[in-house]
Amino acid sequence: MTDFWAPLRTSTQARIGLGRAGDGLPTRSVLEFRAAHAAARDAVHQPLDVEVFAKEVESLGLGAPAVVRSQVADRGEYLRRPDLGRVPASLEDVAKADADVGVVLADGLSPRALHDHGAALLGAVAQAVKGVYTIAPPVIATSARVALGDHIGAALGAEILIVLIGERPGLSVADSLGIYLTYQPRPGRADSERNCISNIHPPDGLGYTEAARIVKGLIGGARELGRSGVDLKDTSRLELTGTTAVERG
């Protein structure tokens, strides 16, 4: 019998056309669902090996990374108290840098995503902006929410801050990475003042090179516009035809 759903499954990771066995799902679908759920839970709770990851980041040649931890005590508190994940325990290891762009590599809700994609994505961003913008030595942030980057960006004195952070795992993807870009970061910035590039997890999601190209366009647009967020639109695809990455709201 021809499987009607087979060609559609090649274009999506969503669970479609699972079929049924009696009143329930086929055993194979049930087991696949449970395996995906277990992978998502592991992605949330498995901590980042900071020492190993720091060596990988340092090998990019952007400088030895500083390490910052938020004010949460453990993973359980991280999940219950998002407010504490937005505030650093200390910034004494973050040095002011004379650079256009600051970078924070944050574990977020999927340390696995940062481990799998963080260094490679940062390398692609560094290559994309090479000779155009300077990058401060990276900062690794643990038990971190996006807004923790505002404190770090202010301490760095960066004009633009990009936060590479593990996204909330789903039942189809447990290692997706996102990028949040903020112009002139400082504590108190609203989420509406950030731009987000999400779903970065090659080969199924957005690739490193494409994500880096979008970041470069947004950096240029933010500097030209003097702000980021809802007023700054990603028109990177139009850049291929010579259109600017900035729309004035």
Residues placed in the known binding site for adenosylcob(III)alamin: 146, 167, 196
Reading the block at residue 54, the tokens are 């720091």
Beta-carbon contacts of 247 under 8 Å, excluding residues fewer than 6 positions away, are: 231, 232, 233, 235
CA dist 78 and 46 (Å) reads 13
Task: Compute CA 42 distance to the chain's CA centroid, rounded to the nearest angstrom.
Answer: 18
Reading the block at residue 31, the tokens are 């087991």
Annotated binding site: 146, 167, 196
Phi, psi of 123 (to 5 degrees): -60, -40
CA dist 49 and 68 (Å) reads 14
Residue 231 near residue 182, CB atoms below 8 Å? no
Q: Kindly report the number of other CB atoms within 10 A of residue 176's CB atom.
A: 25
